[in-house]
Amino acid sequence: MTFGFAPSSAASLSSSATSANRMLEPAEWAAAGIPLLRNPREVVSGLHSRHHPRPATAIVAVLDPDERLRASASFIRRPAPADGWLFRNALLAQLRRVIPHDLRRRTPVRTAVLLYCREGDARWTEEDGAWMWGLRDACTLHGLRCGAYITLTRDGWQVLGEGRGGRRPSADSPPEPFATSEAPPPPPRTGGAASEVLRRAAAR
């Protein structure tokens, strides 16, 4: 897989228009100190198996310090100009829906990553820059560390800014078995004192 820049109309845009859309250039993203995934293919395969993304699908996932998946959500990007503000709001809405915030912590312990399935090749686009800006800002507002931004195309997957990627899974490949890094299902919730009495009775 290669990492480069796709031709775009960025040169014809004024700096104020680019700023209004809120995006990050690859150099800015690389300088932001985004934590590296220990096993990116496992993360990508797990999200691909869970959500079966097709082009224009965004998947935001929250990982614990051991890189186990704690929550994830997918949604379809609406056909509109790439705008980091809109992407930030969409990501934040999904995060609030699937996992409590960590704003009370002094230092974030959980990390959010974003996988975006799109047309084209793996080279950076303005749309990617807007997703990067949106992910970083949504993480700040939800008390999470900003993690990797990953694109999924018909050529395979690519962690932008790192140069790591692979051919499988891709936007066209069938789902693979769930990754081993996924968290086990949570234990069933009990119903208080009555449930405790029943549990003790059953244990006799």
Question: What one-character DSSP code corresponds to residue 34?
Answer: P
Phi-psi region of 98 (alpha: psi -120 to 50; beta: other; left: phi over 0): alpha
How does pLDDT run across 66-101, given as a tens digit for each residue?
Answer: 999 999 999 999 888 999 999 999 999 999 999 999
Q: Determine whether 203 is exposed, middle or buried from the number of CB atoms within 10 Å of its CB (0-12, 13-18, 19+).
A: exposed
Q: Is the peptide bond before 169 cis (omega within 30 degrees of 0)?
A: yes
Q: pLDDT band for 193, please (50, 70, 90 cuts).
A: very low
Tell me 82's DSSP state.
Answer: -
Domain ranges of the chain: 10-203
Question: What's the pLDDT tens digit per position in 140-180?
Answer: 999 999 999 999 999 999 999 888 999 999 999 887 655 44
CA 177, CA 89: separation in Å to the nearest integer?
31
**pTM for the model:** 0.77
pLDDT at 176: 67
Q: Which helix (H) or strand (E) holds 49?
A: helix 40-51
Say whether pLDDT at 184 is over 80.
Answer: no
- Identify which has the larger pLDDT, 51 or 9: 51
What's the mean pLDDT in 21-47?
92
Q: Pick from 11, 29, 14, 13: which is nearest to 131 by CA?
A: 29
10-203: CATH topology: Cytidine Deaminase; domain 2 (3.40.140)
Dist CA 62 CA 18 (whole Å): 29
Q: Residue-wise over 15-27: b if at least 16 C-beta within 10 A, else e?
A: eeeeeebbbbbbe
Per-residue pLDDT of 92-140, as tens digits, reads 999 999 999 999 888 999 999 999 999 998 889 999 999 999 999 999 9
Q: What is the pLDDT of residues 44-68, one digit of tens each?
A: 999 999 999 999 999 999 999 999 9
Residue range 3-11: mean pLDDT, rounded: 40
Q: Is the pLDDT of residue 5 over 70?
A: no
Strand partners, 87: none
